[in-house]
Structure 1
């Protein structure tokens, strides 16, 4: 299936250069682990991986299992690409529960970091290379990271198919290939990734049953709503990955 970037003829060389990263990566291996969140960048990353690798193992990290809007996009991706998505707890949950983010703290829990997750999925799938949707233009930190490694990080076993893509290129690709993003993006502006009051308030309004699931996992989440109502902001960190 050809890759379409929906560009005019003068921009074709630019479009082809955007695909050079995934093409180089596919020459190193025929299998890859793809981390998928349901957001825009991960949607394009998964689609590129499905087109360029023979075997794609898809991993989704959740903060609360079984949220309807997340399961909706996961089911769509499983159907479109003929895969079974491996759902695992997000590594940041260990910190949340250890220090007591909207729940009773339990410092006896083991600390889990992202490298633990990478080691686990590599062993589970017997696959070394991991792809995700990091872009150099996301932040100063990611720009520095990709500037050091390029689109292929040999030391960490990481691929960055979108390393040099702009947000506009991502949106054009999504439109050209009729990709979907997680439905909560319409109300949050992004895929669900945070326990910040603004996001939780929107989830409660639009997905009340999912809010109840979040409240079961984080019994004190009402404090986030109260803080949002009073101050309009929340300092709870966003989920990464």
Structure 2
């Protein structure tokens, strides 16, 4: 262990993997933040903490089961000439679930009208929200662990990078959730982002790899446009108040 701390290559792989884990965790944080809004305000922070803690535990357990993870990539069936593995099944199922959840949320935002606090409390069951979060955590954790195995050679480095990334996400989850809650238009943008991620997961499951960089670049551009709109609205509001 001491030898690892003095090895520059180990530190380089740790920093690289930590950054990648944080980037890969952005969609997870967005989903958790949006799912938690279905709960009463006094339960949202608890749901985010449980969700991200579950993600941490899942990723560590999966890292400790690397041989099993590698086995998930072995073909179990051939459908129309396409070799399907358990990893593909998990990615396809998780992607479809993410598309379904994001689409229903978009429908509720557009057609569902304004929900009162009482309606939200009745509709949102804490255990159900946590189950949904943990289900998506499994899909995102699988993607994260496969990335970790491909970059770092030491299990200690992988676990350390995952722990640091989850801590960063825990710190970022609250302000992200508050921002999305305060600006409904950004919630729609975040839901569209989750639909794109779901489509990318399904495509990966069918062996059509979509570079996440393209998705993130599109969302950064859309996010920048949304920030300009919010800035313009804030300036117009200040001008109106001073008039």
**Larger RCO, structure (CA 8 Å, separation 6 or more):** 2
The TM-score, its normalising length taken from structure 1, stands at: 0.25
Quick check: which one's helix share is greater?
Answer: 2
Task: Indicate the structure (1 or 2) with the bigger Cα radius of gyration.
Answer: 2
